[in-house]
């Protein structure tokens, strides 16, 4: 069992627990929708995959213990809030993928991503603009 003291130490030292795939799905919902009840998260998850309410509840309880979410228990229906920053979490996961899957090559990751998915004209223009800004540094 993870204690409150452990969670506090982790939060103070900027060491973020690594969310599982299922936890990431829940975090995506909380990042997009903001604070939610278990029922609200469950209803969104159910649209894309079969998930039991008690499974969603248990996952969110575990996420609370891990320090990924906070829980407001002041009313009968508990409200959950993402504690981990979306950008920071994405950056950590991308860095890990670059290191572990692409031998440290960000270029190989980008080429793979663009080779497997059709980017819109707006996305391509954004990528070009970003690359131009990088080359000026």
- Distance CA(135)–CA(29), nearest Å, equals 35
Instruction: Give the 3-state DSSP-derived string for 53-110, with helices as H, strands as E and coil as C.
Output: HHHHHHHHHHHHHHCCEEEECCCCCCEEEECCCHHHHHHHHHHHHHHHHCCCCHHHHH
Beta bridge partners of 72: 79
CATH of domain 4-84: 1.10.10.10
In the chain, where the domains are located: 4-84, 87-136
The pLDDT tens digits of the residues spanning 82-123 come to 999 999 999 998 999 999 999 999 888 888 888 888 888 998
6 pLDDT more than 90? no
Give strand pairing partners of 81: 70
pLDDT value for 113:
84
Q: Which residue has the tokens 């004209």?
A: 121
pLDDT at 14: 53
Q: What is the pLDDT of residues 14-72, one digit of tens each?
A: 556 789 999 999 999 999 999 999 999 999 999 988 989 999 999 999 999 999 999 99
Which residues, including other chains, have CB under 8 Å from residue 105's CB and lie 6 or more apart? 98
Coil, strand or helix at 50? coil
* pLDDT, greater one: 7 or 109: 109
Q: Which pLDDT does position 39 carry in this prediction?
A: 97
């Amino acid at each position: 069992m993870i204690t409150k003291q452990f969670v506090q130490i982790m939060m103070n030292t900027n060491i973020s627990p690594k969310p599982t795939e299922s936890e990431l799905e829940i975090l995506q919902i909380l990042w997009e929708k903001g604070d939610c009840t278990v029922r609200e998260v469950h209803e969104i998850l159910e649209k894309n995959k079969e998930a039991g309410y008690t499974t969603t509840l248990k996952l969110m309880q575990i996420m609370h213990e891990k320090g990924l979410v906070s829980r407001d228990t002041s009313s009968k229906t508990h409200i959950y809030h993402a504690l981990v920053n979306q950008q920071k979490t994405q950056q950590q996961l991308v860095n890990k993928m670059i290191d572990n899957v692409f031998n440290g090559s960000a270029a190989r990751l980008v080429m793979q991503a663009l080779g497997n998915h059709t980017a819109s004209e707006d996305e391509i223009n954004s990528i070009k603009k970003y690359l131009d800004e990088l080359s000026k540094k």
